[in-house]
Structures are given as structure tokens and as C-alpha cells.
């Protein structure tokens, strides 16, 4: 029977190098505690013997895990259907890897975000879509774990990164108004209160931007013209279909995410209607996919990947003790006009939102 080779231990390295096990530990974890020649000799012998430090033991010694957590209140199986999250995570990953950190996704475990948090072993957390008064955020705060909030619009005790959601929504609404649209549908992001439905959350800020801009132009946005769904392509299609089946006939759709806007375009095409000939569609995010849809999507640009990069850079500063007061960064939005929007077509009859018509 073939004999399994014995694993090289720290004691083997210490014996070969003629030093203590503590010195070997210092060579890997705190080389500044040794002179350069000694540390170099120990590491050379360790490499020759094939020794690798035990990662768990190293974590306990250094009191760090080498991981940054991305905390989200939604299941990963749901959130990764939104291309926004992939780009946002890529931004976090790029800066994390640059500084020697891995990523740990923290999402509800068997329906409990709190249970997932207690099992996560990370050095710091980027929390997206959670308000600063959320119970799980309070748990992390009490534990003293460094944290940065994204899309929370906090001005409290925690560092944060967000965008001008209300301003971006105003740009989208003003655009369709300028094109002559008055019968408008809104596709809003669904989710728990933690995901931005609260008074100061993303959904409310964007909805406020839409409503106020339309109201300033004398255009009402009835509740019957608003559908809620997941921030995914299927979510957008299903939300549009619900309103259409209820008799809504918009000439323009304002979607709170590009994924929902793309879903709406697909639903419109399935009904034999044209975009933008009969119905204009505006998204929000400007993910990579937005430029290659059919037709290319008019949308509100936000620096999605840059938001992830900014969040983790701020987190690293907090982790290193470089922030004595919470820093709140707000990133700008702008409208990107493509081919999914156009003027109200000649012959399209504007129908009041509360008066259904036949298909």
C-alpha cells in the first residue's frame, strides 16, 4: 500500500533552520521582527521543504481573515440575475485583490440574514441596500467590525457611498416629458424594506424623482401605473405584463433598473408593439448590456463598477484606522440617450391611466 507523505510542520522548518518555532512564525507573519538575513534564510528553507503555513492558524495569529464581506439582504440566486450586481462586485474584487483580500458573499442563510452574519468570518463588510438603522447593521456595528454602506443615503456614524438617485430619476422623467409623453408607467424594484424600500431607500428616492418631475409638468402618476418586481429581466417582463393585462397602455416606461427595462422591452416586443415607435423605455444603471439591447437602451448612467471600487477603498481606509469621522461619498448620475426612446408617434392616442383600453 502506498504510504502518504507526512505533512511538513513548522517544527521541521525550525529544526532545519536552527531557530525556534516562534522565529518561523515571525518570518511568515511579522518579518520585521527578524533581521532580513534570518527571515530570508527561514523562508528559503520552508520553500525547500515544501512548508505552507496553516491558513486557520495564521488567521488566528494575525487576527485577520484576509477576506472582505459583501453583505446583501437578497438571496444570491436572485441578486446575480441583475447585471448591476456583477459589475458592482467586479469593482470590489479588483481593489480587494490589489490589496491581498478575497471576497465572501453574505446573503440570507435559510431566510435569516442574522444567521449568515454570525457565520461569516471577514475583516470588514461592504453592505449594499441596507439602511443604517437595520437590525443586522446594528449587530455588525456593535461587534466593532469595519463597515461601509452602499445605497443607504446615510449621514450617520457609518461611512457610505451612494449616488444621486433622485437626480437621476428626474433626468429620466424629464427626458420622456420632453419627447411629449404623458401616459407613463413606472417599474419599481421590489424587495424587503432593507433593500431600499424604506423612507430613505433607493426606491423611494427614485420614485420621488419621477413623481416630482412629472407633477411639475402637470402629469399625474397614478398607483395603477406602477408595478413592482425583482430587479431582473424576468422581473421587468412580469411587472410590465401585469400592468398591460390590467389595461394600462403607456407610451413611455421608466424602469428603476436596466434589467427591468430590458425585460419590459422583451414584453413589449412579444405583444407585437415597437420600441420606441409605440412605447419608449428608459432604464437606470447603464450596465454593459444596455448598449447592446435591441434597441440600445436609453438609461441613467451611474458608475456601477466605480461604486464598488470606491466602497472597498473607503472600507480599507476604515480598517486601517485612517478615518476618524465617517466619510460619505456621493457619485454623480447622467442621462445616456440611445435608441429606446423617441417622440410620441403620430396617431398614438394618449389614454388616461385610469381608463383601460383593449389590446
Torsion angle of C-alpha atoms 205, 235, 81, 92, degrees rounded to 10:
0
β 252-255/102-106 pair status: unpaired
Q: What is the pLDDT of residue 226?
A: 97
Helix (H, G, I), strand (E, B) or coil at 84: helix
User: What is the C-alpha to C-alpha distance for residues 44 and 54, in angstroms, rounded to an integer?
Assistant: 18
Which class is domain 10-62? mainly alpha
Residue 54: per-residue pLDDT: 58
Q: Which set of grid coordinates corresponds to residue 90? A: 467586479
Cβ neighbours of residue 69 closer than 8 Å, sequence gap 6 or more: 103, 104, 105, 106, 120, 122, 124, 125, 126
**From 3.40.50.2300, 3.40.109.10, 3.40.50.300, 3.90.550.10, which CATH number describes the 165-302 domain?**
3.40.50.2300
Report domain extents, the chain. Answer: 10-62, 67-163+305-332, 165-302
* The pLDDT value given to residue 126: 95
Within the chain, what is the greatest distance between any pair of CA atoms?
Answer: 91
From edge to edge, which strands make up the β-sheet containing 102-106? 102-106, 67-71, 124-128, 147-150, 159-163, 328-331
Q: What is the 3-state secondary structure (H, E, C) of 247-270?
A: CCCCCEEEECCHHHHHHHHHHHHH
Cell triple for 309: 471600487
Q: Which three cell numbers stand for residue 354?
A: 385610469
pLDDT of residue 8: 84
What single string gives the DSSP state of each residue in 165-180? HHHHHHHHHHHHHHTT
- What are the CA-CA distances from residue 291 to residues 262, 298, 299, 337 (Å)? 11, 8, 9, 10
CATH topology for the 67-163+305-332 domain: Rossmann fold (3.40.50)
Q: Is 165-302 in the same CATH topology as 67-163+305-332?
A: yes
State residue 28's pLDDT score.
Answer: 80
pLDDT by 10s per residue, the chain, length 359:
444 456 788 899 999 999 998 898 888 877 888 898 998 899 899 888 888 765 445 444 445 678 999 999 888 888 888 999 999 999 999 999 999 999 999 888 777 787 787 777 889 999 998 877 778 888 888 777 899 999 986 667 789 999 999 999 999 999 999 999 999 999 999 854 334 444 558 899 999 999 999 999 999 999 999 999 999 999 999 999 999 999 999 999 999 999 999 999 999 999 999 999 999 999 999 999 999 999 999 999 999 999 999 999 999 999 888 666 888 999 999 999 999 999 998 545 444 444 343 33
What are the helix (H) ranges across the chain? 10-17, 21-29, 36-49, 55-62, 76-79, 83-98, 113-119, 135-143, 165-178, 202-216, 233-245, 258-270, 304-319
Do residues 124 and 146 touch, judged by C-beta distance below 8 A? yes
Cα(298)–Cα(277) distance, integer angstroms: 14
Amino acid at each position: 500500500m502506498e504510504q502518504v507523505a507526512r505533512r511538513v510542520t513548522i517544527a521541521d522548518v525550525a529544526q532545519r533552520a536552527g531557530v525556534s518555532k516562534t522565529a518561523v512564525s515571525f518570518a511568515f507573519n511579522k518579518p520585521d521582527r527578524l533581521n532580513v538575513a534570518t527571515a530570508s534564510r527561514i523562508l528559503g528553507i520552508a520553500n525547500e521543504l515544501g512548508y505552507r503555513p496553516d491558513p486557520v492558524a495564521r488567521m488566528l495569529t494575525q487576527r485577520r481573515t484576509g477576506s472582505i464581506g459583501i453583505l446583501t439582504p437578497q438571496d444570491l440566486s436572485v441578486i446575480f440575475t441583475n447585471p448591476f450586481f456583477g459589475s458592482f462586485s467586479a469593482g470590489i474584487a479588483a481593489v480587494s485583490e490589489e490589496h491581498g483580500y478575497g471576497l465572501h458573499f453574505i446573503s440570507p442563510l435559510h431566510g435569516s440574514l442574522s444567521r449568515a452574519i454570525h457565520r461569516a468570518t471577514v475583516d470588514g463588510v461592504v453592505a449594499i441596500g441596507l439602511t443604517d438603522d437595520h437590525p443586522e447593521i446594528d449587530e455588525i456595528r456593535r461587534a466593532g467590525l469595519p463597515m461601509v454602506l452602499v445605497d443607504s443615503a446615510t449621514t450617520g456614524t457609518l461611512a457610505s457611498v451612494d449616488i444621486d438617485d433622485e437626480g437621476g430619476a428626474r433626468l429620466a422623467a424629464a427626458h420622456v416629458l420632453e419627447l411629449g409623453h404623458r401616459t407613463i408607467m413606472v417599474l419599481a424594484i421590489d424587495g424587503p424594506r432593507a433593500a431600499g424600500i424604506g423612507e430613505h431607500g433607493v426606491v423611494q428616492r427614485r420614485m420621488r424623482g419621477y413623481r416630482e418631475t412629472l407633477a411639475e409638468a402637470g402629469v399625474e402618476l397614478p398607483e395603477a401605473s406602477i408595478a413592482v418586481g425583482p430587479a431582473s429581466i424576468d422581473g421587468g417582463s412580469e411587472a410590465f405584463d401585469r400592468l398591460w393585462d390590467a389595461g394600462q397602455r403607456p407610451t413611455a416606461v421608466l424602469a428603476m433598473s436596466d434589467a427591468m427595462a430590458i425585460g419590459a422591452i422583451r414584453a413589449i416586443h412579444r405583444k407585437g408593439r415597437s420600441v420606441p415607435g409605440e412605447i419608449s423605455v428608459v432604464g437606470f444603471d447603464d450596465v454593459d448590456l444596455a448598449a447592446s439591447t435591441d434597441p440600445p437602451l436609453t438609461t441613467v448612467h451611474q458608475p456601477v463598477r466605480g461604486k464598488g471600487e470606491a466602497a472597498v477603498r473607503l472600507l480599507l481606509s476604515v480598517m486601517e484606522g485612517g478615518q476618524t469621522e465617517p466619510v460619505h461619498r456621493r457619485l454623480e448620475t447622467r442621462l445616456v440617450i440611445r435608441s429606446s426612446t423617441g417622440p410620441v408617434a403620430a396617431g398614438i392616442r394618449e389614454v388616461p391611466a385610469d381608463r383601460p383600453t383593449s389590446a
